[in-house]
């Protein structure tokens, strides 16, 4: 495709927020301006496409946003144009397809292409729009690092850094009171965040969704440390981790959301059971959304910038219906059709799992 045919593009930050979104926006806008291309920032994720909410982005708009967490465009992880939840008079919700509203606004805005920053849900939606003729380029975003097709997503490194720093602080208070501390982190059904944060923070036990754990084995690891004169034990548990013969702990069910099941509570449950099994005072801490916020690490700023530049290159080259990806350390691209609805989990023979085992970390098995 000739570069002269691309005159105006839109950009969306969809799904849950994470550090690095603004860095991608900045890279896309700066790259576009150099090519004489206008950029329209669509507000609040895909909701903005339905409501027609957008604003022009210029060099001035993106000045100094490299270090900012969150997104200047706003986001939403509940609004899928192909399945919007509409509340009836009765109080019940029904699902309505409002993708036609989005398509109409794309046309009214005069967009030649759309850049979507998001995770698996956002890439699924992008793929559906691509099938309707929308020229879309995806950019992989999630702190969970569970998106297939790319070695790493931006936002993940910052989440690991924040979680590890929190674990560092918990070591000292745990030592002071001779306690075991259970630290619950996000990650949904993939253990990348728990695994990396646990290794970086010196966790003694790391429990991930990919390896069903035995509470008695976890208790055994804690008692063993206590018997060796260790003052404390730190257990890192992913929100999607579960006992070998048990189920994932669900915090709540949100009916008017594409992602109805909200995980959470495994940390408290595990802490209560460990205290009974070991006789050692055990407390639980949920890091939750803390790891989603704040300034992105230098690694994420660079990765996000690379993704933004790559996305703009793909637009200029006409590589639509694809997502920018990091493959073997280099920028590449993968079809959107191969991404949505899938989860990139931790292989049981992954180098990090093997390294953790070799230094004595227990996985509760």
pLDDT, position 208? 98
Q: Are residues 227 and 172 in the same domain?
A: yes
Query: What CATH number is attached to the domain comprising 81?
Result: 3.40.50.450
Residue 271 CA to residue 114 CA, distance in Å, equals: 46
**Among 259, 277, 293, residue at a domain's last position:** 293
Tell me: the pLDDT tens digits for 170-200? 999 999 999 999 999 999 999 999 999 999 9
Query: For the chain, what percent of residues have pLDDT higher than 90?
Result: 87
Closest by Cα among 365, 250, 202, 294 to 18: 294
pLDDT, position 293? 92
Number of independent structural domains in the chain: 2
Q: Are residues 140 and 239 in the same domain?
A: no
pLDDT, position 40? 98
**Among 273, 293, 313, residue at a domain's last position:** 293
What pLDDT band is residue 1 in, cutting at 50, 70 and 90? very low
Tell me: the pLDDT tens digits for 325-365? 999 999 999 999 998 788 999 999 999 999 999 999 999 99
Q: Are residues 249 and 202 in the same domain?
A: yes
Q: Which residues form the domain of 208?
A: 156-293
Query: What CATH number is attached to the domain comprising 201?
Result: 3.40.50.460
Q: Which residues are known to be catalytic?
A: 144
Tell me: the pLDDT tens digits for 82-119? 999 888 888 788 899 999 999 999 999 999 999 999 99
Q: Are residues 288 and 268 in the same domain?
A: yes
Residues 6+ apart with CB under 8 A from 163: 183, 185, 193, 197, 200, 201, 287, 291
What pLDDT band is residue 41 in, cutting at 50, 70 and 90? very high
Q: What is the mean pLDDT of the chain?
A: 94
Tell me: the pLDDT tens digits for 250-290? 988 877 777 778 899 999 999 999 999 999 999 999 999 99
Q: Are residues 245 and 326 in the same domain?
A: no
43 falls within a domain: yes
Predicted confidence (pLDDT) at residue 2 exceeds the cutoff of 70: no
- Whose structure tokens read 């700066």? 30
Q: Are residues 229 and 319 in the same domain?
A: no
Tell me: the pLDDT tens digits for 10-28? 999 998 899 999 999 999 9
- The answer to whether the beta carbons of residues 43 and 74 sit under 8 Å apart is yes
The phi, psi pair for 145, rounded to 5°, reads 60, 30
Predicted confidence (pLDDT) at residue 295 exceeds the cutoff of 90: yes
- The answer to whether the beta carbons of residues 325 and 47 sit under 8 Å apart is no
Q: Are residues 280 and 308 in the same domain?
A: no
pLDDT, position 237? 98
Residue 355 CA to residue 118 CA, distance in Å, equals: 31
Predicted confidence (pLDDT) at residue 145 exceeds the cutoff of 90: yes
Q: Are residues 145 and 48 in the same domain?
A: yes
């Amino acid at each position: 495709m000739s570069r002269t045919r691309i005159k105006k593009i839109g950009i969306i930050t969809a799904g849950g927020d994470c550090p690095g979104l603004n860095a991608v926006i900045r890279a896309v806008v700066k790259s576009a301006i150099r090519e004489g291309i206008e950029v329209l920032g669509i507000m609040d994720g895909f909701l903005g496409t339905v409501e027609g909410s957008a604003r022009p982005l210029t060099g001035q708009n993106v000045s100094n946003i490299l270090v900012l967490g969150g997104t200047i465009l706003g986001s939403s992880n509940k609004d899928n144009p192909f399945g919007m939840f509409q509340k009836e008079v009765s109080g019940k919700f029904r699902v309505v397809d409002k993708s036609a509203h989005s398509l109409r606004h794309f046309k009214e805005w005069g967009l030649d292409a759309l850049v979507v920053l998001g995770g698996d849900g956002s890439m699924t939606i992008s793929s559906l729009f691509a099938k309707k003729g929308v020229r879309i380029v995806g950019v992989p975003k999630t702190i969970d690092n569970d998106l297939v097709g790319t070695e790493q997503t931006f936002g993940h490194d910052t989440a690991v850094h924040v979680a590890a720093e929190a674990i560092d602080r918990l070591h000292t208070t745990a030592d002071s009171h001779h306690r075991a501390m259970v630290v619950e982190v996000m990650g949904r059904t993939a253990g990348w965040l728990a695994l990396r944060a646990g290794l970086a923070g010196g966790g003694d036990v790391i429990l991930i969704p990919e390896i069903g754990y035995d509470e008695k084995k976890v208790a055994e690891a804690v008692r063993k440390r206590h018997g060796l004169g260790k003052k404390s034990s730190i257990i890192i548990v992913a929100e999607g981790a579960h006992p070998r013969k048990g189920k994932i702990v669900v915090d709540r069910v949100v009916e008017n959301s594409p992602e109805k099941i909200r995980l959470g509570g495994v940390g408290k449950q595990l802490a209560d059971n460990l205290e009974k099994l070991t006789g050692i005072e055990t407390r639980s801490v949920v890091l939750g959304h803390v790891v989603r916020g704040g300034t992105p690490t230098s690694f994420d700023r660079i990765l996000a910038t690379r993704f933004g530049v790559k996305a703009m290159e793909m637009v200029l080259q006409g590589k639509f219906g694809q997502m920018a990806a990091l493959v073997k350390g280099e920028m590449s691209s993968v079809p959107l059709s191969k991404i949505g609805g899938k989860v990139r989990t931790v292989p049981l023979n992954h180098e990090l799992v093997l390294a953790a085992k070799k230094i004595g970390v227990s996985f509760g098995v």
